[in-house]
Copies of this chain bind each other. A is one copy, B any other.
C-alpha cells in the first residue's frame, strides 16, 4: 500500500527519465499523448515522473523493440489495467473507498512535501 505511494511519487525530471530509459523527449511526450503515462506537472508546468512511470516507459520500449506498434501496446496496457480494476472490486465497496481515501491523503502530503524526518528510507 505505501509501496504504491513510493512508486508513484513524482520525483524525476525529463532529462533524468531520458537517461534512465534512453528514450527521446519526443518519444516520452508522445507516449503521454497516448495516455500510457500521465506524469505529474509542477506549478511551472514541468513534467515530473515517478519510478512507476519509468517502469512503464521501459516496458513500452521493450514492446517497441519487439516490433509492436502503439495500438497493440495500448491494448496490452488497457488489459492490464482491467485486471487491476478486477482486483480492486474484490474488496468490498466501503473498504475500497476507505483505502483510497487513505492513499489520497498520503499522496497529497507527499506532494506538499511535508515528509517527516527519517522517512526517506521508504523510497528505496
Contact = CB atoms under 8 A, between A and B. Distances in A.
A61 interface: yes
A51 B124 contact: yes
Nearest to A65: B117
Given A11-B11, A124-B7, A117 B61 contact: yes
Number of chain A interface residues as a range: 20 to 34
Helix, strand, loop or mixed for chain A's interface?
helix
A115 interface: yes
A13 B14 CA distance: 11
A23 to B, nearest CB: 11
A21 to B, nearest CB: 8
A113 B19 contact: yes
Interface of A: 6-7, 11-13, 15-16, 18-20, 22, 42, 48, 51, 54-55, 58, 61-62, 113-115, 117-118, 120, 123-124
7 contacts: A11-B12, A13-B16, A19-B113, A20-B113, A20-B115, A22-B115, A61-B117
